[in-house]
């Protein structure tokens, strides 16, 4: 059994930030199922939204966030996050993150604008902000003597009092599979933090990495945590459409710098759908593209940024320019083929302003958590901001509490299982789940489609649970188990919302209710 003061499951921006803020005073472990940089944070292109210029204000950023969230953002949480934005960015600057400047001679950082924002307030590192931040923080984490990094380890489940005959509402650590040795280890911790990201891989098409399998949400739910607003799955409007471009995102900042969405014949269509045109919030743009594609039987639409010079595009979007060019698309001279793809999980485990969940000594931060910031639709570039602010809040709360370790925890029991006989069951069920979630629980929904998905989820869950009980665990099985759990929460939440709001659009309930209420699901003991 390994012992730490704090166990952090996940190595995205939230997890790494928290580790660095705790490490001078605690022994910290980071569990990550691949390498330290394989999470969604490193894929973030756009940047961090924070008020940093004299012509901007907290009230304007709050107003933009509330507008995008379609009435479901928590006002207290929104102000809490926005007012801490500049300090969060300053901390990253102090860590050495190389944010883009206005020009080579300037000391001022370049601020861009994205959909839903009334002002330029997005600080960024060219078009690879997440990669720049994660690399900077990962280097510091690896160098810190108080941080143990357990790469190629995947959490199986949390260890709660209910499992070991103690206080049922307390977390004591987690069981973790070392995927290189196939050995299950027990990790005891005074505090456990879920920072595993979202659940993009529950859908067939996503901008998320393969690691985004809803692990933290599923583990927290099984442990007894409530979840909220899981129906609000954000589809990014512009994912590159190309057979060799898996999950490659075309940043919202391309539209922020004047990119125009066009039909194959060159017609601009966004003004037909919203007066804000290409700078409307993501849910509006994604639905508009979905509508035009279905109406015209199109494989994709096109994002045209050719009015900008090649020098401008190489400077501001070097990653996008190079990737598209490698596929034969010169974005300085040709429009970019794009389609919507699942991007961000707006719901998650319910937390308070200190990142605490319903279970004592269990925290959730980042995309795994439902803080109340995003409401029915996340405002662009608020996600990295949320990671930073709530990592700081969790650190303050953890350090303010007395550290008490459990004396002993039971080992993982695999005395009644054998090696799997047919691994094809896992791969087949994974594929089936992602396809029917895309077809039935996508951008536009109906009650009948949701019921079909729910029926298939029940059948899959029975098969997977039987498989889990009888065979040794593998990383593929654990991820599939978590994806099915998360898919069920999404469908349950979508069926419970009898209106259309933000990211949830139902043909059966096309109107928006006069009162905005969250969807809260509570586990049955």
Q: Is the dihedral of CA 298, 300, 301, 307 positive or negative?
A: negative
- End-to-end distance of the chain based on CA atoms, in angstroms? 28
Question: Catalytic site residue 170?
Answer: no
Q: Considering 113, 191, 255, 282, which one is annotated as catalytic?
A: 282
Contact call for residues 177 and 154 (beta carbons, < 8 A): yes
Contact call for residues 346 and 157 (beta carbons, < 8 A): no
* CA distance linking residue 13 with residue 392, whole number of Å: 12
Best CA proximity match to 182, nearest among 367, 369, 420, 523 = 420
Helix 383-399 vs helix 85-95: crossing angle, to nearest 10: 90
Please list the residues that pair with 385 across neighbouring strands.
Answer: none
Q: Is the dihedral of CA 213, 292, 309, 244 positive or negative?
A: positive
Contact call for residues 509 and 210 (beta carbons, < 8 A): no
**Other C-beta atoms lying within 10 Å of the C-beta of residue 416:** 7
Please list the residues that pair with 141 across neighbouring strands.
Answer: none
Q: Which pair of tokens denotes residue 106? A: 């300037």
Contact call for residues 395 and 16 (beta carbons, < 8 A): no
Best CA proximity match to 226, nearest among 493, 495, 512, 469 = 493
How many contiguous H segments (helices) and E segments (strands) does the chain have? 16, 20
CA distances, 22 to each of 10, 25, 33, 94, 250 (Å): 15, 6, 21, 17, 35
Which amino acids are annotated catalytic?
Answer: 282
């Amino acid at each position: 059994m390994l012992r730490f003061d704090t166990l952090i499951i996940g190595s995205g921006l939230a997890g790494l930030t928290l580790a660095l803020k705790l490490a001078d005073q605690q022994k910290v472990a980071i569990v990550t199922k691949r390498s330290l940089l394989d999470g969604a944070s490193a894929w973030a292109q756009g940047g961090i939204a924070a008020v940093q210029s004299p012509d901007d204000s907290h009230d304007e950023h709050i107003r933009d966030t509330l507008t995008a969230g379609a009435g479901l953002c928590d006002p207290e949480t929104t102000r809490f996050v926005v007012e801490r934005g500049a300090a969060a960015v300053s901390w990253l600057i102090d860590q050495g993150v190389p944010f883009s400047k206005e020009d080579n001679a300037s000391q001022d950082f370049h601020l861009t604008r994205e959909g839903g924002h009334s002002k330029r307030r997005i600080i960024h590192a060219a078009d690879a902000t997440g990669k720049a931040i994660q690399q900077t923080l990962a280097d510091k984490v690896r160098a810190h003597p108080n941080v143990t990094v357990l790469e190629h380890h995947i959490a199986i489940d949390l260890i709660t009092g209910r499992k070991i005959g103690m206080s049922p509402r307390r977390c004591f650590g987690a069981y973790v599979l070392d995927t290189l040795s196939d050995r299950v280890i027990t990790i005891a911790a005074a505090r456990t933090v879920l920072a595993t990201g979202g659940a993009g891989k529950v859908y067939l098409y996503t901008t998320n990495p393969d690691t985004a399998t809803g692990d933290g949400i599923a583990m927290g739910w099984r442990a007894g945590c409530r979840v909220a607003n899981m129906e609000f799955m954000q589809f990014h409007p512009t994912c590159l459409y190309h057979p060799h471009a898996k999950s490659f995102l075309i940043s919202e900042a391309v539209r922020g710098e004047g990119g125009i969405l066009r039909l194959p014949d060159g017609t601009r269509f966004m003004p037909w759908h919203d007066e804000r045109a290409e700078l409307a919030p993501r849910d509006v743009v994604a639905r508009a593209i979905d509508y035009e594609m279905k109406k015209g039987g199109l494989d994709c639409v096109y994002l045209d940024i050719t009015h900008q010079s090649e020098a401008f595009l190489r400077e501001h979007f070097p990653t996008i320019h190079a990737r598209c060019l490698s596929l034969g698309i010169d974005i300085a001279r040709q429009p970019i083929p794009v389609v919507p793809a699942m991007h961000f999980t707006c719901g998650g485990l319910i937390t308070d302003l200190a990142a605490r969940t319903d279970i004592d000594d269990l925290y959730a931060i980042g995309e795994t958590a439902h803080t109340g910031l995003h409401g029915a639709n996340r405002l662009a570039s608020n996600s990295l901001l949320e990671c930073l602010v709530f990592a700081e809040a969790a650190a303050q709360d953890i350090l303010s509490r007395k550290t008490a370790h459990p004396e002993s925890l039971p080992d993982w029991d695999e005395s009644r299982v054998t090696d799997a006989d047919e691994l094809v069951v896992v791969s087949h069920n994974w594929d089936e789940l992602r396809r029917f979630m895309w077809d039935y629980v996508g951008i536009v929904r109906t009650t009948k489609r949701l019921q079909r998905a729910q029926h298939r989820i029940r059948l899959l869950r029975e098969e997977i649970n039987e498989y889990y009980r009888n065979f040794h665990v593998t990383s593929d099985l654990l991820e599939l188990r978590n994806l099915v759990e998360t898919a069920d929460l999404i469908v349950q939440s979508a069926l419970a919302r009898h209106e259309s709001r933000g990211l949830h659009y139902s043909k059966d309930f096309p109107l928006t209710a006069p009162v905005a209420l969250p969807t809260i699901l509570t586990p049955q003991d």
